[in-house]
Amino acid sequence: MTQSDAPLILTAELPADLHRRYTGLRTEHFPPERNYLEAHVTLFHALPAQCEGEARSYLARLAGEVPPISGRVEGLMSLGGGTAIKLTSPDLLALRDEIADHFHGMLTAQDQHRPRLHVTIQNKVTSKEAKALQAELAGQIEPHDFAFPGLALHAYRGGPWEFLRRFAFRGK
């Protein structure tokens, strides 16, 4: 994959305390040979590489107009062959819809659908392993409110993501 054709990944950033905690859970429970990433909330999996300049300017303007967005940790979520932390945020999904509308006609089939907000802490394991982790963590992931501080843009180059830019929510 060349520098110019790497798809762009857009994530919502977690507050520092949740990022540390969920990255720790990923480190502990994600298969190590596939764990290249820290905790993240994916909003778009593959915006076209040729849209990078437009994405940077659009997201900078948008984030500057938006205050930190409320979210809620709901608890654990089964991924079948994995485990995630289930999140909810109507406001983040509304912002994602606005971004999707801006990039209409350029989205992959996967990115045309609203995501189920979550942080994956284990993936590509047997359902038995996933159920065991969910039983182990039951009661440890308590529902609570938090605020997403911003967005982050990355380039996908086949393994670890290349961080491109952070867009802090600064609106009032």
Average pLDDT over residues 7-14: 97
Residue 148 has what pLDDT?
98
- Write the pLDDT tens digit of every residue in 55-99: 999 999 999 999 999 999 999 999 999 999 999 999 999 999 999
The domains located in the chain, with CATH, are 3-168 (3.90.1140.10)
Position 120 scores a pLDDT of 96
How does residue 1 score in pLDDT terms, banded at 50, 70 and 90? very low
**Cα 111 from Cα 44, distance rounded (Å):** 6
Report the b/e string of 100-138 with b at 16+ CB within 10 A. Answer: beebeeebeeebeeebebbbbbbbebeeebbeebbeebe
pTM given for the model: 0.93
Helix (H, G, I), strand (E, B) or coil at 141: coil
Read off the pLDDT of residues 106-118 as tens digits, 9 standing for 90 and up: 999 999 999 999 9
pLDDT mean across residues, the chain: 94
Those residues with Cβ within 8 angstroms of residue 60's Cβ, 6 or more apart along the chain or in another chain? 165, 167
Per-residue model confidence (pLDDT) at position 171: 84
